Chains A and B, each alone.
Chain A
Amino acid sequence: MAKRKLLKGNVGLCYGAIAARCNAFFGYPITPQNEVPEYMSELMPANGGVFIQAESELAAINMVYGAAAAGKRAMTSSSSPGISLKQEGISYIAASELPCVIVNVQRGGPGLGNTLPGQADYFQAVKGGGHGDYRLLTLAPWSVQDCYDFMPMAFDLADKYRNPVMILMDAIIGQMLEQVDLHNDFPVTDFPKPWATNGAKSRTHNIVNSLWIDPDVMEELNNRLKAKYEMAQREETRFQEFYTKDAELVLVAYGCPARICRTVVDLAREEGMRVGLLRPITLYPFPSQQIAALAQNGKRFMVVEMSQGQMVEDVRLAVNGMADVAFYGRTGGIVPNPTEILNEVRASFGKPPVVSYYQNTAPCKEATN
């Protein structure tokens, strides 16, 4: 029987990391992800791993770089301003083709922002973030169960592609409590690491490097990275759809707003508006093909984010002018409520706004998925 526990998203991540056989965690305190280093300081040594509270975000990501170069599964976690500090190391890790997992529990920004939920680090996560041509494979959990389940998936993707993987969530997903099934039926794949710098015994010496003076060799690396990302686009694009088949309007959202949109879909359908939801699970690679296919079938879109509009640009690229793409966003750490999204939906169907959805419908129903 699998163990069930009531956990915060941040803590679910920690149990997931242990299930993923993570060898090392290096981090630095920042709200709202502090439960991660706190729990890992206990869980890692208890499971034969390494925990260090680094002197800075820069040191933490570079410790990850060292541990990953040594052939071990290493991770770090932080929140928006801390992730900015890590960008130098992330670029080096991507260039050196090392696997690792980076968690970003996003908060309000820019600058120090606030410690409330946000989704304004989307560009930074899916477009590279640091300098140079590289991408992070990016996963977006929307429940505590996802936080647990995505860690082994993230480490496997990192090892398969020899590329950093980011888990991009927000303060709500990190801080909310949900019941989690701590099952352990994850596939165990062996990823040989003949490139690891762990002592040149019975082999020539290995070099982990991100310096290529020769422009042809540098371009070769750029092309190799591109080929990897194209392969990921073919093989790893993941998403979830709700009622998109007959939908006139498809909401597109990830993380916490996707959960709210899931409620809005039910509310709208009770009023006869055919609304669906597409929730990207991988933000990079982005489910562009599926969105393009829906656009071709005559759907229009509304993207809901806790930002001034970032993922909406990827939706527009995918739609490529074939359909209308509307946007609704809240910022400052404010989470949009179902009524305000529902009113946006109503307006798009030519209906007047409601003060609260409670006036028109039964109380909020629990999402069926």
Chain B
Amino acid sequence: MGVIKIDRDKCKGCELCVHFCPKGCIAMEDGYNHKGYRPSYFAKENECTGCAICARMCPDVAIEVWR
């Protein structure tokens, strides 16, 4: 069981976290953040294992992970 927190305003919408999450827990928002990017969000909270792959792949250090 894991929890991630994505800093909505640090995210640049590169989608690497969405692509690499082994459980498909992350998705892209329809709205825009203050930088003008579509940020990602934690979509499937129950399936996260806290593996932290999303955080390691994130270029902008926008994700924190708890397990």
CB–CB under 8 A between A and B in the complex? no
CB within 8 Å of A: which residues of B? none
